[in-house]
């Protein structure tokens, strides 16, 4: 059955891919974005479909005419470069923006889905990270503006579920990559691919032994769709449990691009997590979900996207 779905942060990397999937399924999408870090390039291809774009800052009151069945709250700067440049807007969209998006869902009787993050676990002392882990976060460190904004957003989402009976869901997103990522946003895959294609040194912060897990965007969106349609109200990790070091992903990108680039090291940023790996038992058991796209396949698609962007 088709639904009318509001996506905040629709012009961002994940938000735009969510819009694609939902429109392909026959749903109507209303997308909101203030374009602080999003781009209309990501949604330009949607103009001929059942899609409405509204430029709006969701920290202000959200008004949408007509029925709304689902609210997907994806608005937020999402990379260290962004939330270090925009610390206060990051805090505001996590707090005020979540409050306004929850208010819309409550007023419309809609399901609410919050885009949370593996960053709620901070520099984790539990490995891999399960949803039951409370995290190890420095609230006054430079990353705290993002980490605590998302932790507060989770607390408010759960409060609306418990107090108002809102059907509210939380997805904790681990490192995701693919087409439409900004090439200069500081995240490992697009940055390394762009540097390799340009023949520049790949800059690794710290020793390169810190680990991450990389999930391709289509796998993530599939998981979000399953969570949205489920009756689950506990947080759910979505990500790829295949853990690898930053050096390993850099070396693979150099090899796949045929680049002559070298790896160079820079000082590790404050509070940079040493390890990151999701325990996806809950997603497997409750959603029947796990990643399908191999790293080589996902990187091939991403490299092609970056080549087109640089052309």
Q: Give all domains of the chain, ordered by start, each with its CATH number.
A: 4-178+215-241+277-292 (3.40.50.720), 188-209+243-276+298-310 (3.90.25.10)
**Cβ atoms 238, 173 nearer than 8 A:** yes
What is the pLDDT, as a whole number, of residue 248? 97
Burial 184-210 (b: 16+ CB within 10 A, else e): ebbbbbbbbbbbbbeeeebebbeebeb
Amino acid 283: pLDDT: 98
**pLDDT given for residue 272 in this prediction:** 82
| pTM for the predicted model, two decimal places | 0.97
DSSP conformation letters of 64-124: --S---EEEE--S--SHHHHHHSHHHHHHIIIIIHHHHHHHHHHHT-EEEEEEEGGGGBS-
Confidence band of 294 (pLDDT split at 50, 70, 90): very high
Predicted local confidence at residue 27, as pLDDT: 98
pLDDT-derived band at 1, boundaries 50, 70, 90:
confident
pLDDT in tens, 71-129: 999 999 999 889 889 999 999 999 999 999 999 999 999 999 999 999 999 999 999 99
4, 104 contact by CB (below 8 A): no
pLDDT by residue (tens digit) across 41-75? 999 999 999 999 999 999 999 999 999 999 999 99
Mean pLDDT of 137-152: 96
User: What value does the mean pLDDT take over residues 222-234?
Assistant: 98
* Average pLDDT rounded to a whole number, residues 295-306: 98
Q: For tokens 């681990």, name the residue.
A: 174
Taking residues 121-148, report their average pLDDT: 96
Pairing outcome for strands 202-205 and 176-177:
unpaired
Position 105 scores a pLDDT of 98
Mean pLDDT, residues 138-165 taken together: 97
Residue 146 annotated in active site: yes
Average pLDDT, the chain: 96
171: phi then psi, degrees, rounded to nearest 5? -110, 125
pLDDT tens readout for residues 16-26: 999 999 999 99
pLDDT at 226 over 90: yes
Looking up tokens 């869902």, which residue turns up?
Answer: 105
Facing residues of 245 across strands? Answer: 211
Nearest to 59 by CA among 49, 45, 73, 72: 73
Active-site pick, 83, 146, 177, 216: 146
Dihedral sign for Cα 251, 253, 258, 261, please: negative
Lowest mean pLDDT among 177-186, 218-227, 251-260, 268-277: 268-277
Per-residue pLDDT tens over the stretch 193-221: 999 999 999 999 999 999 999 999 999 99
Q: Is 147 helix (H, G, I), strand (E, B) or coil?
A: helix
Mean pLDDT of the 164-177 span: 98
The proportion of the chain whose per-residue pLDDT surpasses 90, expressed as a percent, equals 92
Number of other CB atoms surrounding residue 300 within 10 Å: 12
How confident is the model over 29-48, as a mean pLDDT? 97
Q: Of 22, 122, 135, nearest to 69 (Cα)?
A: 22
Q: Is the pLDDT of residue 180 over 90?
A: yes
pLDDT band at 311 (very low <50, low <70, confident <90, very high): confident
pLDDT of residue 270: 83
- Going by pLDDT thresholds of 50, 70 and 90, the confidence category of residue 186 is confident
Dihedrals φ, ψ of 8, to 5°? -85, 145
Radius of gyration of the chain (CA): 19
């Amino acid at each position: 059955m088709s639904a009318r779905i509001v996506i905040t942060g629709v012009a961002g990397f994940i938000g735009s891919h969510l819009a694609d999937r939902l429109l392909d399924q026959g749903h109507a999408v209303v997308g909101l974005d203030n374009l602080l870090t999003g781009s209309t390039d990501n949604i330009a291809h949607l103009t001929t479909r059942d899609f409405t774009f509204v430029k709006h800052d969701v920290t202000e009151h959200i008004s949408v005419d007509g029925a709304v069945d689902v609210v997907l709250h994806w608005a937020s700067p999402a990379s260290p470069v962004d939330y270090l440049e925009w610390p206060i807007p990051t805090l505001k969209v996590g707090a005020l923006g979540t409050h306004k998006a929850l208010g819309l869902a409550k007023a419309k009787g809609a399901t609410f889905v919050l885009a949370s993050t593996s960053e709620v676990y901070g520099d984790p002392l539990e490995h891999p990270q399960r949803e039951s882990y409370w995290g190890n976060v420095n609230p006054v460190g430079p990353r705290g503006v993002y980490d605590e904004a998302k932790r507060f957003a989770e607390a408010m989402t759960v409060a609306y579920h418990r107090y108002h009976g809102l059907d509210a869901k939380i997805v904790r997103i681990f490192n995701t990559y693919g087409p439409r990522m900004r090439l200069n946003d500081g995240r490992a895959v697009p940055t390394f691919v762009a540097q390799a294609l340009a023949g520049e040194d790949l800059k690794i912060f710290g020793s390169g032994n810190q680990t991450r897990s990389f999930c391709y965007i289509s796998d993530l969106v599939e998981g979000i769709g399953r969570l949205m349609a489920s009756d689950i109200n506990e947080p759910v990790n979505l990500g790829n449990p295949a853990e690898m070091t930053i050096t390993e992903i850099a070396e693979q990108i150099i090899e796949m691009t045929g680049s002559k680039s070298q790896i160079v090291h820079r000082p590790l940023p404050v509070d940079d997590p040493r390890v990151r790996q999701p325990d996806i038992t809950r997603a497997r058991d409750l959603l029947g979900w796990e990643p399908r796209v191999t790293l080589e396949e996902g990187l091939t698609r991403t490299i092609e996207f970056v080549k087109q962007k640089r052309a």
